[in-house]
Structure 1
Amino acid sequence: MKGPSRRVLHVLKYYRPSFTGEGVFLERCSAVMQELAGTVEHDLLVTHTPRPAAPEEAGFCSTLRRVIYLNAAPVSTVRHHARLALWFLRNIRRYDAVHFRTHADWYFVTYLLTRLAGRRLVLSATLDDSLPVLIGHYRPGLRRLAAAGFRLFHAYVGISPRLHEQSRSVAAEPERCHLIPCGVTVPRAAPRTRERVRRSLGAGPNDPVLLFVGGLCARKDPLFLIEAMPEVLARHPGARLVLVGPPLEPDYVRGLERAVAAAGIGEAVVFAGEQLDPHPWFEAADLLVFASRLEGFGTVVPEAMAHGLPVVARRLAGVNESFVLEGETGFLFEDRAGYLGAVLRLAGDASLRRQLGAAGKALCARQFGMRQVAARYLGIYGLAEPGEASPEGPESGLGCTASITDSRFHALADTIGTGPQDAPVLLTMVDAEEAFDWSRPFSRDATDVSSMRSQHLAHRVFSRHGVVPVYLADYPVAAQDAGRAPLRELLQDGLCDLGAQLHPWVTPPFTESVGEANSFARNLPAMVELEKARRLTGALEDAFGIAPRIYRTGRFGVGPRTADVLKQLGYVADSSVNPCWPTAAQRHDPSVWINPPGPYWVDRERTLMEIPVSAALVGRLAPQGDRLAPYLFRPGADRLRLAGAAARLGLLERIRLSPEGMTVEEAKRLTRAMLAQGHRVFALTYHSPSLEPGNTPYVRTAAQRDHFLAWLDEYYAFFREELGGRNTTWREVRFGAGAAAAPALAAAS
């Protein structure tokens, strides 16, 4: 179980939608810091970029708990610094450490407030902002005072040897200075990424693809690369120059476009724009070309090396000479002749590209692994507990670009049944799992899945109504013949589909203690959640020969990194949101008492869809339910019987669309209420052990099982006959009308 939270405040001048390399690095580094020290939370304060008018214009990161924009619009310097100081006065007590990633307070007020509050204070130099440079920006008469102000910091970070040595030269205590390069992460590429992207570029298998990644501006100098391109094409007519990055300086970009047109090389130069995920472009390229004239570090160069690409970069003294090793990992140039010599040599020699790429990849693993970098930052913040933040071990490769629980990432999905004139649709989900005594502590020995043999009883009802359920199977079902054999028969006959459900306490690896807290995936370290989900996915593939693509966290224990885990493992849908049934710690969060209006995307790329379980607050007081429910349905409230009284009076009740614990009349009342609120996609769910008496509190006798099956029969008839609805599958909700009900089961299974 996670311990008490500790918090770091990161401060940046510029953040998305304005492009900022330090902001991108912060996002990626915070993800790994969260994996190394799960109790450390990270917030970001943006001081100069105005708050975006539309939330989707900002870049959100699932491991930045909050992104706070100081100003909604540009303000005067005096007002800006007054707001900054006031914000710190109100909020500094929330944080254990404050990391100014840029010198954002020229009057040192917030730095002083941080020290007076007893918080750790860190300053980074990332471009041309080492201590002597910053001090030199002040008037001569103020420089001694500025130097004293900078001594408020506990630590100074330089991301390149040049910046590090410059700060050490004036620091009163040079041991406070730390050289920490930007770390690099490389997620796993989807199959055939290289072929897909190169096809979109019109590049053949042997055509060299030159890649530039960075903001399109004069400092980065992509014009140099364009002007040299005709000579590259003279030797390699099929070559492509791909420019990935946002247009930071519109007039400069128009100049680039004119240069391309004047040279007649429009087919060979591709303006790819800003990419939320640039990694596929690295996969498609043959070499990185980088002509930037000023960099603090130039992260894109080692990032390309980590992808196994040789690099050709402009020599920047004290910045890139330590990792762009001449003829070993790439080439450094100082003029056009040097650039062309290196590019033409690499473009014509695939063997040399592979050799240099392999050497660069190995160097990056040694020097720029994000685990090493993240561990060093946690140490500087003073927040690495014993046993935490070890730089050893494999990198997870988890992204930080999606969240099932954070509404900043969400967009309603335009899918079947969501239009106001559409007939409602109903999908059925069965938690296929082991039986265990719900009243007793969790045990790894409770793995009885014999109830899977009784699932055919529900299929008698399903067949009458055209229901094709999805079985969300957990590890004991996949690992034992008593579980997988009955499910395999249903799959072979096309009567159901397969998904995954994670019960952490019975899913290896078994590294965590067993208990109530760790039964929720959200309380597990991200690396543990990832590995358990990976093992579960592999077990299901081995057992059934098909890859599950819809997921559920057992006990609806969805966590802040669950979406990142699912994206890495190739899932395209999740059903872990269970409105109105929060844990005690969550019940005062208003969002947990509101059913989302329909399926929604949880990532900007719209690759992962959340399909919530249907549940809601119903009654005359439902509009005020988010304020009343935390008290009415709190633990122990049953003794006062207030919830029962409120339900009988038609004031407020919470209902879940399930035959477990709900009467069929309650389910009908829920459905009518949700339909009136605009819901069109409904998800019914129950547990597979309920099909055998004695396994769950809902079915203790054969008569109760008969009632359970009759409940299903009556509800399906109600949904079709009274509401004019129809049954559907999760695949149709996710992919649209005409989607296959389920993939064919492998013959070898």
Structure 2
Amino acid sequence: MTKGRVLHVLKYYRPNFTGEGVFLERSSAVMQELAPGVEHDLLVTHTTRPAEPAAACTTLRRVIYLSAQRSSETRRQMALVWWFLRNLHRYDTVHYRTHADWYFLTCLLAAVTRRRLVLSATLDDSVPVLVSHYRPELRGLAKRGFRLFDAFVSISPKLFQQNREAGIGADRCHLVSCGITLPAGEPGGREALRSSLGIAPEDPVLLFVGGLCERKDPRFLIDALPGILARHPRTKLILVGPPLEADYVRGMEQAVATARLGHAVIFAGERMDPHPWFEAADILVFASRLEGFGTVVPEAMAHGLPVVVRHLPGVNDDFVLDGETGYLFNDAPRFLSAVCDLAGDPDLRKRIGTAGRALATARFGMRQVAARYLSIYGMAARPTAVEDAETRLGCTASITDPRFHAATRPAAGPTPLLLTTVDAEEAFDWSGSFSRNACDVSSMKSQHLAHRVFERHGVMPLYMADYPVATQDAGRAPLLELLQGRLCEVGAQMHPWVTPPFLERVDESNSYAGNLPVSLELAKARCLTEALADAFGETPKIYRTGRYGVGPRTADVLKALGYEADSSLAPCWPPPGRRNAPSAWASSPTPYWTDRDKTLMEIPVSAALVGRLHRQGEALAPMVFHKWPRQVPVAGAMSRLGLLERIRLTPEGMTIPEAKRLVRHMLAEGHRVFALTYHSPSLEPGNTPYVRNLAQRDRFLDWLDEFYTFFREEIGGRNGSWRDVRFGNAQGGAV
């Protein structure tokens, strides 16, 4: 697997809106799919550090703001050089997405240390234009400074030609248009959004997407609207984008008021995801006077929208083919004619939109653009594991990255809530290697033994069923009987080695679904979800990654498949690749939202570091729970001394006194939601290390009985469902 680290440098980033920043977020997501070993960091030089971290993209490993407050150009330059001196050794490639170092000092440092240097031209910043901004006596030095770069990326033919005319060799000059990636549309999304805005199905909707500023010229669209309304009086104009220039926006609002267009103009504001607005529209109208590329135009085309855009020679006229894939205009009459023709002719809209979609998807797919960037960085993309199609995944949620987390609401009352989850799975040799042939699910017939205990204590367990259970009658039938009797709930559990498609090598690393290529993780999760829906008549809404092997995009996968909750996190039990990182031991067993939109909730398995040194546990745990030789029982000694132990709420390998210590510790720390878990094969002796014979199975069931009694009678808790946590029915979290 190709490994490396790329530093992207931008002047402005969130909360400041920039098209290049948005493109970086989208392209880094696809680059991560093509080359999982390549990490991407972003250094922001001009936007000051916000109070809240910029949690917009999970595939940007770090977003570093150079300064916490505004500073002079000289001080900013000094800070930039100092940062490079301390951190440049971490990176293989530095990509200046804007010319952020006018003195070339950091460029020189990168060149001297043999880092690959890339410079993008995205608006009016080709090399000859940049050189012209220097004083005449310095232009010779500036030209020599630009020779430090190994590659120049131009996003439009105009910028590419300008760079070539500046004498940049063909081997260093690259034309790479901005790529587009479209999420899967929500069924009925168009109708729902239009209805929420009071727009009838037959009303023609014009859409503008972009920053509200003079350069983009959305005021032109408002001024032209009366002429359109004269012929099509039900037309609506929607303006989606942030107000970048306050005075300009006030002028737009005044123009709307003066012309009495309030009924026809909708200011929708900035939208993190503009795609639903494309789906709701009929025509994209774009009057920008200066663009490096204008990504919203091919995005709209990919959505099947006809486009009417201002002609920018060398920028948009090689893909907006007038009268074929859209319309170009240079003046108001031509704009008015094109929009009115489209507004009144649905068949024309369909013909132009279909041709535009074919061109945009063929030329500007993000997958091919991301592969080009990786090639420019000198980092090869891996061969694709699944069909060469876009995953359409977002990159806005994470199970393990706290930048993206949002707290749930405090519990509605003091009553502790206990969830019981069972990993319903095949039996396999826990001490041997993984095998696709190990699919015995006969232990599912023994689950009724635990239900005798559940019935006494009012427990409705959640069975996290995997693919072999869902697709074999021996696994499916007992669970279906319990489900029909309303004695359980069913969720999904991923064991990748027994879940198709089978495209990966079967080994220890690939037994963790999060280690798989994202496209393959998505394909397997989709297959599992569909198998469970077929088996049990309803689509599962809660998920668990087997072996607690979450990956950087697992939350994005689950959101794409419509899951509402996940239980893949086992605090204090990090997977092998993260065991030595202190941050991996810092996760909390309290439920939390994995995204700022609060659509996917994480409900961790209950586990914690307990003991007199638990406050220092984050730092001590990697050493204490290291895989020491048997002759060095560090963890055992720390536990016996009452200093530090890690306990998980399970009858597998944990004693009742340990479980009680864990619950009391968590209560003292303010936790009110508890999740107990075990594996279904443990109810059939010989399947797991925890139950080797009938006597051990009896003790296993007694453990459950004693724990439920303790939780109810000593703790004053109650049993409940994951839905109580997710939707706020007494122990909450729902928005």
Instruction: Output aligned runs, 1:264-663, within 5 Å.
Output: 264-384=260-380, 388=383, 393-414=388-409, 418-419=410-411, 421-596=413-588, 598-636=590-628, 638-663=630-655
Match for residue 247 of structure 1? 243
2:408 maps to amino acid: A
8 Å Cα contact 1:305-1:311 kept in structure 2: yes
Matched, 1:87 2:92: no
Whole-angstrom CA distance in 2 between matches of 1:642 and 1:366? 59
Look up the SS of the partner of 1:175 in the other structure: coil
Q: 1:120 aligns with which of 103, 116, 119?
A: 116
1:445-490 CA deviation, whole Å, 9 max, x = no partner? 1110001111111111112222112111111111111111111111
Task: Give the one of 247, 250, 255 matched to 1:259.
Answer: 255
Shift of 1:103: 0.5
Residue-by-residue CA offset, 1:53-96 (whole Å, 9 max, x unaligned): 122xx243111111111111111111111111111112112111
Kept after mapping to 2: 8 A contact 1:33/1:389: no
Residues 595, 367 of structure 1: CA spacing in aligned structure 2 closer, same or farther, 3 A cutoff? closer
Distance across 2 between alignment mates of 1:405 and 1:14: 27
Q: How far apart are 1:595 and its partner, in Å?
A: 4.0
Shift of residue 232, structure 1, vs aligned partner: 2.2
TM-score by length of 2: 0.97
From 27, 36, 39, the counterpart of 1:38: 36
SS in 2 for 1:373: helix
Q: Which digits, 9 at most, give the CA deviation of each residue in 1:333-384, with x for residues without a partner? A: 1111111111111111111111111111100111101111111111111111
Distance apart, 1:592 and its partner CA = 2.4
Letter in 2 for 1:413: T
Task: Give the whole-Å Cα distance in 1 for the aligned partners of 2:656 and 2:255.
Answer: 70
Which of 198, 211, 221 is residue 225 of structure 1 equivalent to?
221
Structure 1 distance, partners of 2:484, 2:128, is 72
What letter matches 1:520 in structure 2?
Y
Distance 1:639 1:446 in 2: 34
CA-CA distance at 1:638 after TM superposition? 4.8
**Residue deviations 1:89-137, cap 9 Å, x none?**
1211211111111101000011111111111111000001001100000
Q: Distance in 2 between matches of 1:159 and 1:549?
A: 41
1:488 and 1:226 map into 2 onto residues whose CA distance is: 59
Q: How does 1:42-57 map to 2 (within 5 A)?
A: 42-55=40-53
1:594 positional shift: 2.8
Indicate the residue corresponding to 1:744 in structure 2.
none
SS of alignment partner, residue 712 of structure 1: helix
Structure 1 residue ranges without an equivalent (≥5): 740-749
**Does the CA contact (< 8 Å) of 1:502 and 1:554 recur in 2?**
yes
Cα separation, partners in 2 of 1:617 and 1:457, compared to 1, 3 Å: same
- Superposition pairs for residues 730-749 of structure 1, below 5 Å? 730-737=722-729
Counterpart AA for 1:528 = L
SS in structure 2 opposite 1:440?
coil
Aligned to 1:743: none
| RMSD of aligned Cα (Å) | 1.7
In the alignment, what sits opposite 1:25? 23
Residues 119 and 149 in structure 2, CA contact (< 8 A), matched pair in contact too: yes
**Do residues 105 (structure 1) and 101 (structure 2) align?**
yes
Note if contact 1:594-1:626 (Cα within 8 Å) is conserved in structure 2. yes
Kindly indicate whether the alpha-carbon contact (under 8 Å) linking 1:17 and 1:59 is maintained by their aligned counterparts in 2.
no
CA contact (8 A) 1:371 1:391 kept: no
Q: What amino acid is the match of 1:36?
A: L
User: Which of 140, 144, 155 is the equivalent residue of 2:136?
Assistant: 140
1:202 to 195, 198, 205: 198
Return 5+ residue gaps in structure 2 as ranges: none
Cα shift at 1:589: 2.1
2:417–2:673: 8 Å Cα contact kept in structure 1? Answer: yes
Letter in 2 for 1:309: L
Q: Deviations over 1:704-737 (max 9, x none)?
A: 1111112112211221222221111111211121
Contact 2:7 2:94 in 1 (8 A): yes
Q: Is the 8 A contact 1:6 1:96 kept in 2?
A: yes
Q: Which amino acid aligns with 1:186?
A: L
Cα offset for 1:389? Answer: 7.4
Contact between 1:37 and 1:389, CA under 8 Å: does it hold in 2?
no
Range with bigger deviation, 314-323 or 579-588: 579-588
- How far does residue 230 in structure 1 lie from its aligned partner after superposition? 2.2
Counterpart residue number, 1:153: 149
Q: Does 1:129 align with 2:125?
A: yes
Contact 1:597 1:678 in 2 (8 A): no
TM-score by length of 1: 0.95
Quick check: 2:589–2:606 contact (8 Å CA) kept in 1?
A: no
Residues 595 and 614 in structure 1, CA contact (< 8 A), matched pair in contact too: no
**C-alpha separation in 1, matches of 2:626 and 2:470:** 36
The Cα of 1:622 is off from its aligned counterpart by 0.5
Equivalenced residue count is 732
Q: Is the 8 A contact 1:433 1:688 kept in 2?
A: yes
Q: Which amino acid aligns with 2:94?
A: V
Deviation at 1:392, TM superposition (A): 8.2
C-alpha distance in 2 between matches for 1:390 and 1:147:
44
Q: Is the 8 A contact 1:378 1:389 kept in 2?
A: no
Q: Which amino acid aligns with 1:39?
A: G
Contact 1:595/1:615 (CA < 8 Å) preserved in 2? no
Report the AA paired with residue 21 of structure 2: G
Asked if the contact 2:464–2:493 (Cα under 8 Å) also holds between the matched residues in 1, the reply is yes
> Structure 2 vs 1, CA of residues 331 and 392 (structure 1 numbering), >3 Å: closer, same or farther?
farther
Measure how far apart 1:298 and its partner are.
0.3
Quote the residue 1:77 is aligned against: 73
- Deviation at residue 28 of structure 1 after TM alignment: 0.6
Is the Cα–Cα contact under 8 Å of residues 241 and 269 in structure 2 kept in the other structure? yes
Once the 2 structures are TM-superposed, how far is the Cα of residue 185 of structure 1 from its aligned partner? 0.3
Match of 2:160 among 149, 159, 164: 164
Q: Does the 8 Å contact 1:428/1:467 carry over to 2?
A: yes
The Cα shift of 1:388 comes to 4.1
Distance 1:507 1:492 in 2: 25
CA distance in structure 1 between the partners assigned to 2:225 and 2:248 by the alignment: 18
The 3-state SS of whatever aligns with 2:651 is coil
**Greater mean alpha carbon deviation, residues 15-24 or residues 422-431:** 422-431
What is the DSSP-based 3-state SS (H/G/I as helix, E as strand, rest coil) of the residue aligned with 1:229? helix
Decide whether aligned partners of structure 1 residues 412 and 738 sit closer, same or farther in structure 2, where only a CA change above 3 A counts: closer
Cα 1:474/1:639, change in 2 over 3 Å:
farther
CA offset at residue 693 of structure 1?
A: 0.9
| Secondary structure of 1:156 counterpart | strand
Identity %: 69
Say which SS state the counterpart of residue 631 (structure 1) adopts: helix
Deviation at 1:225, TM superposition (A): 1.0
User: 2 CA distance for matches of 1:722 and 1:267?
Assistant: 63
Cα distance in structure 2, aligned partners of 1:430 and 1:547 = 18
Deviation of 1:165 after TM superposition, in Å, equals 0.5
Instruction: Confirm or deny: 8 A CA contact 1:244 1:272 kept in the other structure.
Output: yes
